Amino acid sequence: MKSISLYQDKNTVIHRIDPLSKILYILVAIIVPFLLASQIASAAFILVSIIILLMGKSLKRTVPMLGFSGLILITVVIIQGIFRPDNVTPALVLGSVVFYKEGLLFALGISLNVINILMSFSILVLTTKPSDMVETFVRMGLSPKLGYVLSSVFQIIPQMTETMATITDAQRSRGMETEGNLTTRVKAFFPLISPVVMNSLITTKERAIALEVRGFDSKQKKTFLTEVKKTRSEKVIKIVLAAVLILSLIGRVLIWLR
């Protein structure tokens, strides 16, 4: 079954880390450079993220994401580099187009921030099983119903796509034109809607009953099949992350006082 989540099952240290630590890392990676207002901190976190992703054997999967946001970042560089109001010092002259130093530095700051956020989220998204992530939230007090919605999306949507493919095939086998130019395709889309929608409505109703008879609505406090691993290294990771956060907070206050 094809999956819509970006997660890939690999057996590495990073995959085994508690999702909570990863969420904490995202917070730290975003807040610390902001507190210190430092591009070096952003760059440092990007480097750390890259190392973590390398350890998780998932660095390659960030490329499409970076490629997409890279496109946007390039426009930022071009626009800020040429048109930023406080541009004074020319840095690069390409024919009649002049890139200014101030604008380029500003664009660099934005780019570093975006890449940093992207990379730190990638660690969570690429190396954590969606169901584990949701379970962590439910353990922390998220309603199990909302948790179910979040985690079922990852399976139900691909299932619906599959149903749609089956219905298309069935219609095609009865002689309906589904391929060809744009008008044929648009025409082929309409007869697809009602069976797909009806089908999902019926499926949803039946699934709701099936969930009910398995005690989904139970008032009983839920327990979990998977065990929370409370290892010492997990603790160390969390303490280190918290320490970094606190230190940067102190650093910020010190900068202020000066």
The residues of the shown chain that bind other proteins, judged by CB under 8 A, are 1, 129, 131, 134, 147-148, 151-152, 155-156, 159, 203, 206-227
Q: Which amino acid is at 64?
A: P
Q: Which is nearer to other proteins, 50 or 164 (CB)?
A: 164
Tokens linked to 206: 């039946």
> CB 111 → other proteins: shortest distance, Å?
36
> CB 129 → other proteins: shortest distance, Å?
7
Dist. CA 253–CA 258, nearest whole Å: 9
If phi over 0 gives left and psi between -120 and 50 gives alpha, with beta otherwise, what is residue 57?
left
Question: Do the beta carbons of residue 49 and residue 30 sit within 8 Å?
Answer: no
Q: Which is nearer to other proteins, 169 or 212 (CB)?
A: 212
Q: 38 φ, ψ to 5°?
A: -125, 130
> CB 202 → other proteins: shortest distance, Å?
8
Q: Which is nearer to other proteins, 75 or 204 (CB)?
A: 204
> CB 241 → other proteins: shortest distance, Å?
28
Q: Which is nearer to other proteins, 54 or 228 (CB)?
A: 228
> CB 130 → other proteins: shortest distance, Å?
8
Q: Which is nearer to other proteins, 131 or 171 (CB)?
A: 131
Distance from chain centroid for Cα 11: 20
Dist. CA 183–CA 115, nearest whole Å: 41
